[in-house]
Chain A
């Protein structure tokens, strides 16, 4: 185990990784931007190093500043969390070249999976189903139109280097495709510095289901069950649950086997997630992408398996066996995560501001991973995630009931939050029935 770790992230995930690191006896070194000096993840760290001004490219995306902080504090490892530099292969390589332990998969695996075109082609070559789409970057709108005619509308226009739903557009016809192509390209360039675009058949009325995998130090890849992430707005997840109400044992077995195969295809080590779209009608699924890092919604898997995924990341990076018997994983009960965002609950527009009151729910089966507390300022510089409210219960109806009470008891004043939206979601007929797909939010908020 490393003696110390730099957590190259902020907010709730920096705090959550820090908790496990401390429990394992690892010294926690936080890095933070000027905007985040007052946040709990900084206060709770054993040491905290300022790395630059508020804009992410000058702080959390500033590899030089983060590596300098690691050198200055004598850190032995770097944990990237999710987002920012977590899926940046050259940053991972620089960490390794500096003689530090990288708490993540190899730069090679990141590189193979980070590009949505390359990963699609790789998965298809290994017999994993992919959506009908382009095998090479689409260079201009005319070419996009030619491909779409062959694929069939509606199509999804995606940035090859994209993530978090940014740079993704659906087009129902040629006009939509021409406009969407330009938007996707400009966002891809601006957010990811890479304008490569792919076009895929868009599966309507699909569920978004992902599989948690772990590549063990001995080379085996195992799957720890699925998460249903169909409740989304603007292609960003709002609520996740496990097990998925739309996945039966036979489908689960096929999906988990495909996810393991995906991990094996790149010699995966550490925690990763294979995202798929499932056609609710036929039970067919296609590979969407692989996230080569800890996922925001990892806690639901932790609650049903009793496995601390961050602990396994540290163990695997250290070349050690995991803390549980990989042959005896049997998820039990039901877990649900609600992302609490600083945004208005109707139009989902951002709502930065000072938190005047912050009171978290507590009790049996309730876990809150929060990035903020009372008196903190939510700035416009980063994503709107304030906290993750995660509930666990023996079955889904009880989990929903527990979640309703917890949402009610969660008090945040200052910025507007989407808690009232979650209250509606937890009472909506679609969500309660379990028979919902990626359109569930837009039907609730037309």
Chain B
């Protein structure tokens, strides 16, 4: 199981993956926006997205859970 957490304070611009999706290593899960920059959050390893903890428009803090891949 891999927990993907936010590296910085950001706004959630786009949620690309959905709960239950099979993803490959490097697939884009979510796109964050911080300081006028888009930052893709990628799957670290293949698996199934068992949890997506953010929605579009959310403001997330450093360390916040974004997704769980099993």
Chain A residues close to B by CB (< 8 Å) = 164, 166, 234, 342-343, 349-353, 379-384
The reply to whether A164 and B8 contact each other, CB–CB distance below 8 Å, is: no
The reply to whether A352 and B34 contact each other, CB–CB distance below 8 Å, is: yes
Chain B residues close to A by CB (< 8 Å) = 7-11, 33-37, 39, 59
**Interface pairs (8), CB distance under 8 Å:** A349-B7, A350-B10, A351-B8, A353-B9, A380-B33, A381-B35, A383-B36, A384-B35
A352: which B residues are within 8 A, CB to CB?
8-9, 34-35
Cα distance A382–B35 when bound, in Å? 5
Cα distance A373–B36 when bound, in Å? 21
Most buried by B among A234, A352, A382: A352
Distance in angstroms from A67 CB to nearest chain B CB is 25
**Main secondary structure on A side of the interface with B:** loop
How many A-B contacts at CB < 8 Å in the complex?
Answer: 38
B9: which A residues are within 8 A, CB to CB?
352-353, 379-380
A380: which B residues are within 8 A, CB to CB?
8-11, 33-35, 59
Cα distance A351–B62 when bound, in Å? 10
A166: which B residues are within 8 A, CB to CB?
36
A383: which B residues are within 8 A, CB to CB?
35-36
Distance in angstroms from A70 CB to nearest chain B CB is 26
Q: Which residue of chain B lies nearest to A351 when distances are taken between CB atoms in the complex?
A: B8
Q: Which residue of chain B lies nearest to A379 when distances are taken between CB atoms in the complex?
A: B9
Cα distance A383–B36 when bound, in Å? 6
Cα distance A164–B37 when bound, in Å? 11
B36: which A residues are within 8 A, CB to CB?
164, 166, 382-384
Cα distance A261–B11 when bound, in Å? 43
The reply to whether A350 and B39 contact each other, CB–CB distance below 8 Å, is: yes
A351: which B residues are within 8 A, CB to CB?
8
Distance in angstroms from B58 CB to nearest chain A CB is 12
Cα distance A166–B59 when bound, in Å? 22
Cα distance A384–B36 when bound, in Å? 8
